[in-house]
Amino acid sequence: MTQYKKPQLIEGRSVFLLTGSIIAFAIAFSPYIFYLYEIFPSGRVWENSLFTYESKYYENVMTAMWTYFGKITPLFLLLIWFFTCKHWWYHSILIPISMYAYQILSTVYDDVYLEKPINFDTDGLIYLAPFFIGILVIVYFVRIQIFDRIYGIDLSELNETDVSVFSKKMSTNEQKEFDNVKHQGFNFRPEPTEDYYRKL
């Protein structure tokens, strides 16, 4: 049986190591993604064998690409972070991802399709507010579920302790612990009961 498990374990580790190496290389390569804008021409029109690109807003292809790659690079890094993050709050990374994606789309739309661009960037928070609120609600509910599992009390466990929610008596386990401590010579004053407070 161990002969079959060992190759699977080694295979799993090698896949994990390969994935980690690709991610590390992609993060280390991210500055070069940004500096790709330098390969584009500095004129208003860029013609190649596939298409012709005209920068209407920036009036310079290199400036437009500098703007695009300045937004694509952090979006790329945030996507890596989102897909590799193992924390419970990883959904909140979607908020900056959506912000950068929206900025890229609005920048391309301004530069390619409009002679007089609309300022999408100034009203971006208004358009993205429902998405932000939805993500924050998801993160909040995930947080509540996790904290309930860590600190919450399962009421079904109360049946196992021989005590009800409204009972004033100690459970059998608590009574045994109290008797053991009492036999060891410690004198504890009992906690005041409701009758004691009524008499006061």
123 has pLDDT over 50: yes
Average pLDDT on 25-32 reads 91
* Max avg pLDDT among 13-22, 27-36, 185-194: 27-36
43 secondary structure, DSSP code: S
Take residue 63 and report the two structure tokens written for it: 């400036």
Locate 93 and state its tokens: 């990374």
Average pLDDT over residues 90-99: 88
Q: What is the residue-wise DSSP string for 122-175?
A: TTHHHHHHHHHHHHHHHHHHHHHHHHHHHH---GGGGGGGT--TT--SPPHHHH
pTM of the model: 0.60
Q: What is the pLDDT of residue 71?
A: 93
Most confident of 53-57, 72-76, 128-132, 163-167: 72-76
- Position 192 scores a pLDDT of 57
Residue 28 predicted with pLDDT over 90: yes
Go through the chain and tell me how many residues it has.
200
**pLDDT greater than 60 at residue 13:** yes
Which stretch, 73-87, 134-148, 173-187, has highest mean pLDDT?
A: 73-87
Indicate the DSSP class of residue 160.
G
CA distance 144 to 134: 15
For the ranges 18-22, 83-87, 187-191, the lowest mean pLDDT is seen at: 187-191
Q: For all residues of the chain together, what is the average pLDDT?
A: 75
Per-residue pLDDT at 51: 84
Q: What string of DSSP letters covers 45-72?
A: EEE-SS-EEE-SSSS-HHHHHHHHHHHH
Q: What is the full DSSP assignment across 79-133?
A: HHHHHH--STTGGGGHHHHHHHHHHHHHHHHHHHT-SS---TTTTHHHHHHHHHH
For residue 164, what pLDDT is reported?
A: 47
Look at residue 67 in the predicted model and tell me its pLDDT.
92
